[in-house]
């Protein structure tokens, strides 16, 4: 007998109306005209309207007059295209060495393996390679390069890591 009850319950569940499977969705429209669909609540300044969503059931044909979403409201579009402006440069790139040399001067010095005031430690290493010795005293750093034939070079950097000008 208990199996007959279960069969009867199952038969009744299958006969539930199709609208029981629908869901309510919130349609939130902001003051700027942006529309968001959510199952959560809308923002404090959004206009809320409830939308009934009916999922597609296999074997059924929805009437063509019924749609899942309401018709869109046609409103005049603001003149966004006329408001296009050119970007404004607020500042310019400033390296930590205070832009003493231009990018072109820096590039040419590195390619010619020269060191000029205003180059960073990274620029010097790009031009000459890793130093033979590094000495740090107070707030300055010294790179020492020992070349063949007894020649050597010593580059002094300030506290920012920039090549100091010869004084």
Transcribe 127-138 into DSSP letters: HH-S-SEEEEET
Alpha-carbon distance values, 19 to 70, 74, 85, 166 (Å):
18, 30, 51, 87
Residue 9 in any domain: the answer is no
Residue 96 in any domain: the answer is no
Residue 7 in any domain: the answer is no
Q: Look at residue 6 in the predicted model and tell me its pLDDT.
A: 61
Residue count of the chain: 167
pLDDT tens-place values along the chain, 167 residues long: 456 766 655 565 555 554 445 677 888 888 888 888 888 888 888 888 887 776 666 666 655 545 556 677 777 666 555 566 777 766 666 677 877 888 889 899 999 988 998 898 889 999 988 999 999 888 889 999 887 777 788 889 988 888 887 65
**Phi-psi region at 31: left, alpha or beta (left = phi > 0; alpha = psi -120 to 50):** alpha
In total, how many domains does the chain have?
Answer: 2
Strand partners, 26: 38, 50
Residue 137 in any domain: the answer is yes
φ, ψ at 80 (rounded to 5°):
-65, -30
Residue 109 in any domain: the answer is yes
Structure pTM?
A: 0.43
CA distance 58 to 41: 31
Residue 46 in any domain: the answer is yes
Instruction: Identify whether the C-beta of residue 96 lies closer than 8 Å to the C-beta of residue 118.
Output: no
Residue 88 in any domain: the answer is no
Residue 143 in any domain: the answer is yes
Domain carrying residue 36: 22-58
Pairing status of strand 133-137 against strand 140-146 = antiparallel
Provide the 10 A C-beta neighbour count for residue 119.
26
Give me the sheet containing 47-53, strands edge to edge.
Answer: 35-38, 23-29, 47-53
Query: Which DSSP category does 85 fall into?
Result: -
Which of 5, 35, 58 lies at the terminal end of a domain, its last residue?
A: 58
Q: Look at residue 78 in the predicted model and tell me its pLDDT.
A: 60
């Amino acid at each position: 007998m208990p199996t007959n009850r279960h069969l009867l319950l199952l038969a009744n569940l299958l006969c539930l109306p199709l609208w029981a499977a629908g869901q309510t969705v919130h349609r939130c429209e902001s003051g700027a005209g942006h529309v968001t669909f959510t199952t959560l609540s809308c923002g404090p300044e959004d206009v809320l309207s409830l939308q009934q969503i009916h999922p597609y059931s296999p074997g059924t044909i929805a009437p063509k007059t019924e749609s899942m979403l309401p018709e869109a409201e046609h409103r005049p579009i603001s003149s966004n295209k006329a408001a296009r402006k050119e970007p404004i440069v607020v500042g310019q790139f400033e390296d930590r060495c205070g832009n003493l040399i231009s990018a072109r001067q820096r590039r040419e010095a590195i390619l010619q393996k020269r060191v000029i005031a205003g180059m960073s430690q990274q620029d010097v290493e790009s031009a000459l390679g890793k130093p033979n010795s590094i000495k740090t005293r107070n707030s300055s750093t010294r790179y020492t390069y020992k070349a063949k034939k007894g020649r050597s070079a010593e580059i002094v950097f300030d506290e920012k890591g920039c090549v100091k000008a010869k004084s």
